[in-house]
Amino acid sequence: MTARQRQDGDGEGSTANRTTEPASGGLDVRLGAERLATAVDAAAAVADECRLTVGDGMAFRARDPADVAMAELRLDREAFDAYEADEATFGVALDRLGDAVSLAGDESVRLRLGEDGRFDVSAGAVEYAFAPIATEAVRAVEWVDAGSVAASATMAAGDLRRAVRAADLVADHATFAVDADERTLTVAASGDTDDVRLDFDESDLDALDAGAVESLYSVDYLRDIVGAIPSGVPVTVEFVGGGEGGCPLSLEHAFAGGDGTGRWLLAPRIRR
Amino acid sequence: MTARQRQDGDGEGSTANRTTEPASGGLDVRLGAERLATAVDAAAAVADECRLTVGDGMAFRARDPADVAMAELRLDREAFDAYEADEATFGVALDRLGDAVSLAGDESVRLRLGEDGRFDVSAGAVEYAFAPIATEAVRAVEWVDAGSVAASATMAAGDLRRAVRAADLVADHATFAVDADERTLTVAASGDTDDVRLDFDESDLDALDAGAVESLYSVDYLRDIVGAIPSGVPVTVEFVGGGEGGCPLSLEHAFAGGDGTGRWLLAPRIRR
Amino acid sequence: MTARQRQDGDGEGSTANRTTEPASGGLDVRLGAERLATAVDAAAAVADECRLTVGDGMAFRARDPADVAMAELRLDREAFDAYEADEATFGVALDRLGDAVSLAGDESVRLRLGEDGRFDVSAGAVEYAFAPIATEAVRAVEWVDAGSVAASATMAAGDLRRAVRAADLVADHATFAVDADERTLTVAASGDTDDVRLDFDESDLDALDAGAVESLYSVDYLRDIVGAIPSGVPVTVEFVGGGEGGCPLSLEHAFAGGDGTGRWLLAPRIRR
């Protein structure tokens, strides 16, 4: 997949066209409700609305209002039990889609674009219809793929969650650092009187590509993000760029039994 | 059982007598705490107080203050492990009786009318005593048995709960409809922008006696009622009368291992 | 153990010295996180801060601000997997230590006094550092061992909890009474209209040394205390002194697999 494909649709112009003529873009897919729920709940960790890009699978992309975090939840075509769809981009209110999917329980769910231009989510006897949001009214997500990676590590989602929970006990921001000599990834946070620190060495990590980086992130955002990452999957943590003032944190993990990919980008917090 | 027996006692006069001379009406029964708890919690779904009618078993009957819903939870004599009781009707504060029964855990519980005219609930080492409410101070429940049934269906409690939960996501009221030609029971609700609809056909239902009806009900009441119906039992849904402006909804289901019957009557909401 | 040892340190003077020269008192112990968590959570049932006395094990002692209840949670040396410590007494903010221990999950946790005079709690990759509170700023606990015991009983923690929960449903205070003739322990409470009463006879109790006592206690304190006692252990209940106006209630139970002892002392509430 190219970076181009990952962006929303083919540009604002054509996207807007599709939104105003929804009947021209067909959509009729079926997949396990739990897969769709995971993607929707994850995107909801950073925003109330997202752009749903359809084309050889589906991608939910959301950016938070303060422009600090973005999420991309991609379901490959293999994640679907049935798939018929034209390329298109929609705006989606995540609580609506989440409500609709929640009614499916653990059944298979069908997502369709109805003739009236509304989404139609059905599972068993239930059918839930709601309108898309105008695509251009939803913040676009331009994923920053370009930056070089200063350091990266792969760790268990549970370890990452534990680190964020620990930082959350003492402070509003956490420092992630990689020590190239010690070959460790450290998460640390300092409150007024308390300090917490987690050192992950190579025995704790699935992989480590160590370069010297240190950057500060908001614990609020981290907590929402790690809460949306499924338990039991390895998460690849990348420090993008790696300049003096901190660097964006990129997280990537599989979901939907390997047929989906979650990606997160979190801007560094400038040290006070 | 006749409709007469289902009503409260033998009339206001004799009931009042019993209330003021409680010692004349003996009551000493024993049953599984969970059976009594189910009846009490269910009655509490529509009101804070109920009338407890004793006589060849027990019936808890409650009517909500706005006169929209009524509940009858009947425990047959077979539901009891021991049963000695004269016919009588009492007013009961459901939170008190619920508290008392909750102390029994999953043990057998004994409900007695003490010499001081108070209820005495005991289980193991615990004994909880509280006074009845004056019977005439509790809304009487006159069950409407007379109406002809325009349509009826029997469905799983879980399906009914799911339908109400779905409606609750989008609106304050839900339409129940039976299509005599399609042979379906439909629950539908429309919010400002979202619609939800559940179609149950004969394969989804345990039974269907289809007549054309359509009626609107309050989702708030429905939610309380379906929350009080035990999981895993079939519920018989009847549309009573079936006039133009909507018709009362009657629900009936077994509980207490078949030795108890829950009945609910919900008035239609007049379409705005 | 003598009553002297159970008191905090060797006097205010030497304690203060240790606090200001923490490096002189070494502390480096390791134990199951769950054992430490039980002790910390229990002490937190009566106060926000406690005194931690180290010496042949550890004792957490806390007294509530209104001077109604006190708790002592003692971990014998056998409760530790590793133990190196000089005698000392510290002030501890229980929420901090509780947070630190919670990060350990069910692992082994190491509690150390760092060179900077701060506590250092570590488990796996996590390390949490926080400062002790000045010992003299924490209420000292002088345990009243001297009083004669008027009556005592040993009962299941679950029965005690059930009695307190029952009393809590109807009133703010509960009467504990032992009847020397009937050989029963009774817990009773009376609300405006409801009464609750639990009679435990010798068949319900593990032991009973019956003397005639009756005393009133605050249900709020009892609820916090019984909530902190582990399930499934026998609790020894003692009525200390036994004068006319009520007598202190002493509770004692094992924890940490028998390598720890919890003790509680609750002042009687003077009858209105």
Whether residue A68 is predicted with pLDDT greater than 50 in this model: the reply is: yes
| Interchain contact, A103 vs B162, CB within 8 Å | yes
Q: Give the number of beta-carbon pairs within 8 Å between B and C.
A: 42
Interchain contact C90–B (C-beta under 8 A): no
pLDDT digits (tens, 9 = 90+) for A184-240: 999 999 999 899 999 999 999 999 998 999 999 999 999 999 999 999 999 999 999
Q: How far is CA B181 from CA B46, B202, B212, C56, in A?
A: 35, 12, 8, 84
Reported as a pLDDT band with limits 50, 70 and 90, residue C6 is very low
- The distance of Cα C227 from the centroid of its chain, to the nearest Å, equals 11
Decide: helix, strand or coil at residue B63.
strand
- By the 8 A CB rule, do A261 and A255 touch? yes
Chain position carrying tokens 């001379």: B21
Q: Kindly state whether C209 is in contact with chain B, defined as any CB-CB distance less than 8 angstroms.
A: no
C196–B126 C-beta distance less than 8 A: yes
CB contact under 8 A, C204 and B128: no
Q: How many CB atoms lie within 10 A of CB B53?
A: 25
| Residues A62, C160: Cα–Cα separation, whole Å | 53
**Domain range list for chain A:** 3-137, 149-266
Average pLDDT, rounded, for chain A: 90
Residue from A164, A176, A184, A193 to probe the interface with C (highest C Cβ count within 10 Å): A193
Q: Taking CB atoms and an 8 Å limit, are C129 and A195 in contact across chains? A: yes
CB contact B140 to C (< 8 Å): no
CB contact C143 to A (< 8 Å): no
CA distance linking residue A120 with residue A112, whole number of Å = 5
Name every chain A residue with its beta carbon within 8 A of the beta carbon of B170.
99, 128
What percent of chain B lies above the pLDDT cut of 70?
Answer: 88
A127 at B interface, C-beta within 8 A: yes
Residues of C in contact with A162 (CB under 8 A): 103, 105, 125-126
At residue A7, the pLDDT reads 43
Q: Which chains touch C (3 or more CB pairs under 8 A)?
A: A, B
Average pLDDT for C185-198: 96
The correct CATH number of C149-266 out of 3.90.1150.10, 3.70.10.10, 1.10.150.20, 3.40.440.10 is 3.70.10.10
CA-nearest of A234, A193, A239 to A216 is A239
What does the DSSP 8-state code read for residue A168? H
**How far is the alpha carbon of C176 from chain B, nearest alpha carbon, in Å?**
14
- Give residue B1's pLDDT: 35
Q: How many Å lie between the alpha carbon of C270 and the closest alpha carbon of chain B?
A: 24
Measured CA angle at A89 (ends A88, A93), to 5 deg: 140
Secondary structure tally for chain A: helices H, strands E: 6, 18
Interface touch A126/B166, C-beta < 8 Å: yes
DSSP one-letter code for C87: -
Burial class (CB in 10 A: 0-12, 13-18, 19+), B105: middle
The dihedral through the CA atoms of A226, A263, C126, A218 has a sign that is: negative
Q: Is the pLDDT of residue C23 over 80?
A: no
Q: What is the mean pLDDT of residues A26-40?
A: 97
Distance CA A236, CA A263 (A): 9
Q: At what angle do helices B219-228 and B157-170 cross, to 10 degrees?
A: 150
Strand ordering across the sheet containing C195-201: B82-85, B27-32, B108-113, B119-123, B126-130, C195-201, C184-190, C173-179, C213-218
Nearest to B2, CA basis, from B143, B139, B153: B143
pLDDT in tens, A79-120: 999 999 999 999 999 999 999 999 998 889 999 999 999 999
Beta-carbon separation of A193 and C130 below 8 A = yes
Q: Are strands A69-76 and A57-63 parallel, antiparallel or unpaired?
A: antiparallel
Identify the sign of the CA torsion B29, B33, B34, B40.
positive
What fold does the segment set C3-137 form as a domain? DNA Polymerase III; Chain A, domain 2 (3.10.150)
> To the nearest whole angstrom, how far is the Cα of B111 from the nearest Cα of chain C?
14
The owner of tokens 């706005």 is B66
pLDDT tier for residue C241 given thresholds of 50, 70 and 90: confident
Nearest-Cα residue of chain C relative to residue B121:
C196
Give tens-digit pLDDT for C24-75: 469 999 999 999 999 999 999 999 999 999 999 999 999 999 999 999 999 9
Q: What residues contact residue B211 under an 8 Å CB cut-off, 6+ apart?
A: B150, B151, B178, B180, B239, B242
Query: How are the residues of chain B apportioned to helix, strand and coil, as percentages rounded to the nearest 5?
Result: 25, 40, 35
Whole-number pLDDT of residue B245: 78
Q: At CA B270, angle to CA B269 and CA B271, rounded to 5?
A: 110
Residue of C nearest to B119 (CA): C194
- DSSP annotation of C239 reads E
Burial state string for C170-198 with b = 16 or more CB within 10 A and e = fewer than 16: bbebbbbbbbeeeebbbbbbbeeebbbbb
ipTM: 0.84
Overall average pLDDT of the C170-192 stretch: 96
How many angstroms away from the CA of A126 is the closest CA of chain B?
4
**One fold for both A3-137 and A149-266?**
no
Q: Tell me the pLDDT band of C105, cut-offs 50, 70 and 90.
A: confident
**Interchain CB distance below 8 Å, A196 and C125:** no
* Neighboring chain A residues of C96 at a CB cutoff of 8 Å: 194
> Which of C159, C160, C170 should we substitute to test contact with B (largest number of B Cβ atoms within 10 Å)?
C170
Is A2 in a helix, a strand, or coil? coil
State both tokens at B84: 């000695």
Contacts of B128 in chain C (CB under 8 A): 166, 169-170, 194-197
C193 CB within 8 Å of a chain B CB: yes
| 3-state secondary structure string across B140-185 | CCCCCCCCCEEEEEEEEHHHHHHHHHHHHHHCCEEEEEEECCCCEE
Report the pLDDT averaged over residues C172-178: 97
CB contact under 8 A, C126 and A162: yes
Asked if residue C40 lies in contact with residue C237, where contact means CB atoms within 8 angstroms, the answer is no
Q: Tell me the CA distances in angstroms from A173 to A223, A260, A268, B69, C124, one per residue in order.
A: 11, 30, 10, 53, 22
**Residues A49 and A93 sit within 8 Å (Cβ to Cβ):** yes
Q: Which residues of chain B have pLDDT under 70?
A: 1-25, 144-146, 242-243, 271-272
Which burial class, exposed, middle or buried, applies to C109 when counting CB atoms under 10 A from its CB (0-12, 13-18, 19+)? buried
DSSP state for residue C24 in the 8-state scheme: G
Q: What single DSSP character describes residue B270?
A: P
- In this prediction, residue C243 has a pLDDT band, given cuts at 50, 70 and 90, of low
Among residues B183, B187, B184, the alpha carbon closest in space to that of B165 is found at B187
**Structure-model confidence comparison of residues C210 and B40, the more confident one:** B40
- Is some CB atom of chain C closer than 8 A to the CB atom of B130? yes
List the single residue in C125, C129, C130 with the smallest CB-CB distance to A204.
C125
- Number of CB atoms found within 10 A of residue B103's CB: 24
The rounded distance, in Å, linking the Cα atoms of B151 and B184 is 11
Q: In terms of pLDDT, which residue wins out, C85 or C243?
A: C85
Instruction: Give yes or no for residue A143 having a pLDDT over 90.
Output: no
Q: How far is CA B52 from CA A150, B18, B142, B164, C167, in A?
A: 74, 13, 13, 29, 25
Residues belonging to chain A:
272
Spatial CA neighbour of C47 closest among C123, C178, C139, C180 = C139
Residues from chain B that touch C176, judged by Cβ atoms under 8 A, are: none
Query: Cβ of C195 and B128 within 8 Å?
Result: yes
Least CB–CB distance from A166: residue in C128, C130, C131: C128
| Continuous H helices in chain B | 3-6, 12-20, 33-43, 94-102, 157-170, 219-228
**Which residue of B160, B161, B170, B187 is the best one to mutate when testing the A interface, meaning the one whose CB has the most A CBs within 10 A?**
B170
CB B29 within 8 A of CB B62: no
Q: Does B204 touch chain A (CB under 8 A)?
A: yes
Residue C12 clears pLDDT 90, i.e. is over it: no
Cα(A261)–Cα(A74) distance, integer angstroms = 5
